[in-house]
Structure 1
Amino acid sequence: MLEIAAVRAGYDRTTVLHGVTVAVPEDGVAAVLGHNGAGKSTLLRTAMGLIRPMAGSVLLDGEDITRLAPHQRVARGMAYVPQGQQAFPHLTTAENLRLVADGRTGGRAAVAEALDLFPVLRELSGRRAGLLSGGQRQQLAIARALVTRPRLLLLDEPTEGIQPSVVAEIEETVLALTRRGGLSVLLVEQHVGFALRAAQHYYVLETGRVTSSGEGGGDAEQTVRTALSV
């Protein structure tokens, strides 16, 4: 569904990605793993159009979207959840979701579907987002992205800094979303076990280059851990 082909990208004169190629399958998951500073977030930002590549291309359903602005990619069904449990802190949980839903066809139903996935958010609908725990804010960030009913979801470290009980909930939600079809996911994740359980294909990034790749699943875990230990 998404192909990032031979992309070279970075910031100003600093190149972070050196000819990276990553493909996300239709109705499937591709996981990107690597240590801090490997270029994982830069890869997602490039896919979303927040960084324009110096070379290479980004294709969505075979269409070259390399030059499209982020809002044009959203209109084509892409959604992005960056690191940091981002939300509008002075708005309530419900207001954060309605802000995304307003003006969208079926917006109210999309909010209801997102709350079904994260029931705790329904219980906290009247609480300001700034008063939520880190795990609850992360669930809210994912729910907000899902309100747009994307076909492709980019998730940047969705379990980073989250308490273990909520990590399990987020993992199960991501797995459930991919099992029901209609959604592809490009997942950047530190938890190797979760990433490989979710993904049909994985990529290991090291200093902006793909150093290992293969099929996902539990059988790949030792290979990936070895690649990450180098």
Structure 2
Amino acid sequence: MSTVLEITALRAGYDRTTVLHEVTVTVPENGVAAVLGHNGAGKSTLLRAAMGSIRPTAGTVLLDGEDITRLAPHQRVARGMAYVPQGQQSFPHLTTAENLRLVADGRPDGRRAVAEALDLFPVLGELSGRRAGLLSGGQRQQLALARALITRPRVLLLDEPTEGIQPSVVREIEDVILSLTSRGGLSVLLVEQHVGFAMRAAQRYFVLEAGRVTSSGAGGTGAESTVREALSV
């Protein structure tokens, strides 16, 4: 399986504190790579470094073989990356429809992209007139995902999309991710603590501990026990 995003020997952190120590993670083309680990392991820092929100002190980030390590976040977006951070982010005082239109405006296929997003998450159409701040956590997460997908990314970075969400919505999000990657044209770097969800979705997994990859391998449900054992250490 070919690789679309390749993070190699990445070292990054905040001020003088190094959080990631020579981390290497690869994302398969039209597939999912899951990064798992306990709180403080460096998972969110990895996504921020991949997106360019923080600048690494060593290592490289390649997108389709192009070195994007020094590119700004907006330049990475232009090349087909999208990032959904932790916390179901949206504009709370805008309606669901307004949140979607804000991303779609100015895009040649904006209306079509919104329609496709609503097909993936029908509940958003039912709640189009409701302010985003009044949506449930699961509905806000679906809105955040829909907003990212309207940009038609090649690579989608997801930071714990199932955190604090009811199981039925977790399954819906999982189904959407699997559907999109199976169609082709989308790859996902997924940060998760929900091992079952991650292993059902991922072709590759990486376990982070104290900013280092301590275990990695092929994903799938058969790897779940191995991952749980790695996380218990």
Instruction: Please state which band the TM-score falls in when normalised by the shorter chain.
Output: over 0.9
Residue 40 of structure 1: aligned partner:
43
SS at match of 2:69: coil
Residue 176 of structure 2: aligned partner:
173
Question: Following the alignment from structure 1 to structure 2, what is the Cα–Cα distance between the partners of residues 164 and 216?
Answer: 21
Residue 93 of structure 1: aligned partner:
96
Question: Following the alignment from structure 2 to structure 1, what is the Cα–Cα distance between the partners of residues 64 and 177?
Answer: 22
State the Cα distance separating 1:196 from its structure 2 match. 1.0
Equivalent of residue 63 in structure 2, options 57, 60, 65: 60
Equivalent of residue 128 in structure 2, options 125, 133, 138: 125
Is 1:13 paired with 2:16? yes
TM-score computed with the length of structure 1 as normaliser: 0.99
Question: Following the alignment from structure 1 to structure 2, what is the Cα–Cα distance between the partners of residues 172 and 219?
Answer: 19
Q: CA RMSD in A?
A: 0.6
TM-score computed with the length of structure 2 as normaliser: 0.98
Is 1:225 paired with 2:228? yes
Runs of 4+ in 1 over 4 A off after TM superposition: none
Residue 75 of structure 1: aligned partner:
78
Identity of aligned residues (%): 86
Question: Following the alignment from structure 2 to structure 1, what is the Cα–Cα distance between the partners of residues 62 and 206?
Answer: 18
Question: Following the alignment from structure 1 to structure 2, what is the Cα–Cα distance between the partners of residues 179 and 37?
Answer: 32
State the Cα distance separating 1:151 from its structure 2 match. 0.7
Question: Following the alignment from structure 2 to structure 1, what is the Cα–Cα distance between the partners of residues 68 and 16?
Answer: 23
Equivalent of residue 204 in structure 1, options 197, 202, 207: 207
Runs of at least 5 residues in structure 1 that lack an aligned partner in the other structure: none
Residue 138 of structure 1: aligned partner:
141
Equivalent of residue 155 in structure 1, options 144, 158, 181: 158
Question: Following the alignment from structure 1 to structure 2, what is the Cα–Cα distance between the partners of residues 98 and 155?
Answer: 21
Runs of at least 5 residues in structure 2 that lack an aligned partner in the other structure: none
Question: What per-residue deviation string (whole Å, max 9, x for no partner) do you get for residues 138-159 of structure 1?
Answer: 0000000000011100000000
State the Cα distance separating 1:197 from its structure 2 match. 1.3
